[in-house]
Amino acid sequence: MDAGEAVETIQREMTVFARRARASAGRLHPELSLVSYTLLGHLEDSGGCRATDLAAHYALDKSTVSRQVTALERAGLIERRQDRTDHRVQVLHLTDAGRSILAQVTESRRAAFRERLAEWPDPDLERFAEYLVRYNAWGGSGTPHAG
């Protein structure tokens, strides 16, 4: 396989991976998309943030984030709170229900990965992890970025 074929294979397999991730997200909580789960994870990691911060962090359109936030609020998984330092700003935070469903999803995903990778030798797992970190660190401008 030459480099061109390898890139085509990587693209095809990453697409399959993304489809499976979207499908599994729907099975875990049918009303929420994979994007919703991602936003919940970010809110947990950040301790809360504004919707505009979510849009900027994930390079999503504000209307996309707004729809996701509305769905998460309706489901009782997030709530808006007034910012302590600027009362004009609304900060999104996970509710207890949001933390609970995020923990369930996270554990379910970990179990699926453990099962799928159980037969892989440790050196392959380590190499795969390093490659994924390297791939995801690329910022698009020719230089890696953090996060």
Tell me what pLDDT residue 144 has.
47
What average pLDDT score do residues 28-53 get?
85
Other Cβ atoms closer than 10 A to 95 = 15
pLDDT band at 21 (very low <50, low <70, confident <90, very high): confident
Identify the pLDDT of residue 86: 82
Mean pLDDT of 97-112: 88
pTM here is 0.74
Which H/E stretch holds residue 11?
helix 3-28
Average pLDDT over residues 124-147: 78
- Determine what percent of the chain is predicted with pLDDT higher than 90: 45
Between 99 and 17, whose confidence is greater?
99
Q: In this structure, what token pair is assigned to residue 64?
A: 């996309």
pLDDT of 43 > 60? The answer is: yes
* Residues in contact with 31: Cβ distance below 8 Å, sequence separation at least 6, in sequence order: 71, 75
What is the reported pLDDT for 20? Answer: 81
